[in-house]
Structure 1
């Protein structure tokens, strides 16, 4: 059970209810927990939204899945398996990310996965950075690092609140 109440839109001050009603928040426990600090949730969502624009949706989901798997973070993995599929990441690619099978991925995706994992684990290497730079400009590489760091921070917040998935964990292999 979560360490903080899981709030609904009606539990928020009026000026923050739109965070639930005008966004696709649904019954996501992450937002229900963060809603205990509505102004911070508002800024979190603004920052998240901007970071989601760093890469096309499919590549963004590859990065988030790689970070979630590196951290062995069930909540983030669970959420982004669905989002990844919706963005065009195949089950074979999701399995490859989960198992660390870079040979099963395109060179570009392998570079994204390697870099995301290394940043998530706090050990980015020059070679990982340079390899990603073969596919993306410097601004995008910076954005990828910030996206990964954001999901590391999100995972730690979820851990602090002991937030569980909304339904049974999807598992590490789809």
Structure 2
């Protein structure tokens, strides 16, 4: 459900049907909402690719999960629990992020997660920034900050639209393997 309405893929003009390919996360409600304005959706995909070009798929998903958790963005968390597994993030690691426990991650990943959390909560300190700058260069820092801001804005759209989960229920912040399997297969 969405207040504005979800567009079925078969009703999308041929010019924009490729936006529903698996390369672009497939047939998810957020895509079916945003395709109400196909050029906007297409530009968001391009912007996301630019913002994440400095990061591995694993880092990108760590950023998305940490942003969703820090901003209590359930829809984004739910989507990225599914996507993160494809990027090599274990369910144990997903639960750790959901529980705000970064200890099992490498030093660099802990720095990335803590910085993402600080950006998402608008609480970046000089020390937090310096720690991140010791691992990532200036273009990466700015791109990460923009990516976090993108996901926070994204979550506001989801909330404004009352967007529902495709599977009907929220996977939870620290989902069991059984819950993940039940919802995502």
Shared fold per TM-score greater than 0.5: yes
5+ unaligned residues in a row in structure 1: which ranges? none
Structure 1 pair 88–21 and aligned structure 2 pair: CA distance change class (3 A): closer
Runs of 4+ in 1 over 6 A off after TM superposition: none
Structure 1 pair 103–21 and aligned structure 2 pair: CA distance change class (3 A): closer
Any residues of structure 2 matched to 1:88-99 within 5 Å, and which? 88-99=88-99
Q: Distance in 1 between matches of 2:132 and 2:164?
A: 33
Structure 1 pair 161–90 and aligned structure 2 pair: CA distance change class (3 A): same
Any residues of structure 2 matched to 1:7-18 within 5 Å, and which? 7-18=7-18
Structure 1 pair 108–23 and aligned structure 2 pair: CA distance change class (3 A): closer
Aligned counterpart, 2:120? 120
Aligned counterpart, 2:183? none
Structure 1 pair 154–11 and aligned structure 2 pair: CA distance change class (3 A): same
Could you report, residue by residue, the CA deviation over 1:3-53 in whole angstroms, capped at 9, with x for unpaired residues?
111102332334333322584443200010011111111111111122232
5+ unaligned residues in a row in structure 2: which ranges? 176-185
Moved more, 66-75 or 17-26: 17-26
Aligned counterpart, 1:5? 5
Aligned counterpart, 2:107? 107
TM-score by length of 2: 0.86
Structure 1 pair 147–161 and aligned structure 2 pair: CA distance change class (3 A): same
Aligned length, in residue pairs: 174
Conserved 8 A contact 2:19-2:26: no
Conserved 8 A contact 2:9-2:27: no
Aligned counterpart, 2:178? none
